[in-house]
């Protein structure tokens, strides 16, 4: 028997295309942190900001390093969904798909890379790799969610 569909309510969103350069990746991180501060409340909690900042930094760096197609941007989307902050980074390279959470293997101590998604896995409450579904463009989206702290009663 199939589980009933989960209703997800999106209440706030930031969507920005950024250049597929290291500067674009840095800007993505700064934009995400600034947006969480602007939203305030539980979104500006230090533990949420710290996690989202590292997740955005790693996913944007991966989009620039591994997902870059010359002349194409990557997209950062930050959303508040039911009980969490959702980070989505999309690029247009379809043939280089990163491993998902079930296929992730830690890198060895002498490996030059491979630690970014391990950090995402450690910090995000959930994450996945999806086919890109916006604008009809090819590519992939890595989506990660960080749960919000519970509301405090006065």
What confidence tens digit (pLDDT) does each residue in 68-127 have? 777 678 999 999 998 999 999 998 877 767 777 777 777 766 666 667 889 999 999 999
Domain extent for 134? 12-147
Q: Are 58 and 87 in contact (CB under 8 A)?
A: no
In a domain, 154, yes or no: no
pLDDT of residue 14 exceeding 70, the answer is yes
In a domain, 5, yes or no: no
Percent of the chain with pLDDT over 90: 53
In a domain, 86, yes or no: yes
User: Does residue 68 sit in helix, strand or coil?
Assistant: coil
pLDDT of residue 3: 54
pLDDT of residue 133: 67
In a domain, 98, yes or no: yes
pLDDT of residue 139: 86
Confidence of residue 129 (pLDDT cuts 50, 70, 90): very high
In a domain, 153, yes or no: no
In a domain, 122, yes or no: yes
CATH of the domain at 28: 3.30.565.10
pLDDT of residue 153: 59
Confidence of residue 4 (pLDDT cuts 50, 70, 90): low
Overall number of domains in the chain: 1
In 24-110, where do the E strands start and end?
74-81, 84-91
Which run of H or of E encompasses 43?
Answer: none
129: left (phi over 0), alpha (psi -120 to 50) or beta: beta
Half-sphere exposure of 104 (CA within 13 A, CB side): 16
Percent of the chain with pLDDT over 70: 81
pLDDT of residue 93: 78
pLDDT of residue 1: 47
């Amino acid at each position: 028997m199939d589980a009933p569909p989960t209703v997800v309510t999106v209440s706030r969103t930031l969507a920005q295309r950024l250049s597929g350069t290291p500067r674009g990746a840095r800007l993505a991180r700064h934009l995400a942190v600034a947006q969480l501060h602007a939203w305030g409340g539980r979104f500006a909690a230090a533990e949420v900001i710290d996690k989202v900042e590292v997740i955005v930094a790693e996913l944007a760096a991966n989009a620039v390093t591994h997902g870059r197609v010359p002349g194409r941007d990557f997209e950062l989307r930050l959303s508040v969904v039911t009980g969490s902050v959702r980070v989505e980074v999309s690029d247009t390279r379809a043939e280089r798909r990163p491993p998902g959470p079930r296929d992730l293997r830690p890198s060895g101590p002498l490996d030059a890379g491979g630690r970014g998604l391990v950090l995402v896995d450690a910090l995000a409450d959930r994450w996945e790799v999806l086919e890109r579904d916006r604008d009809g463009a090819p590519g992939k989206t890595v989506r990660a969610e960080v749960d919000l702290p519970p509301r405090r009663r006065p």
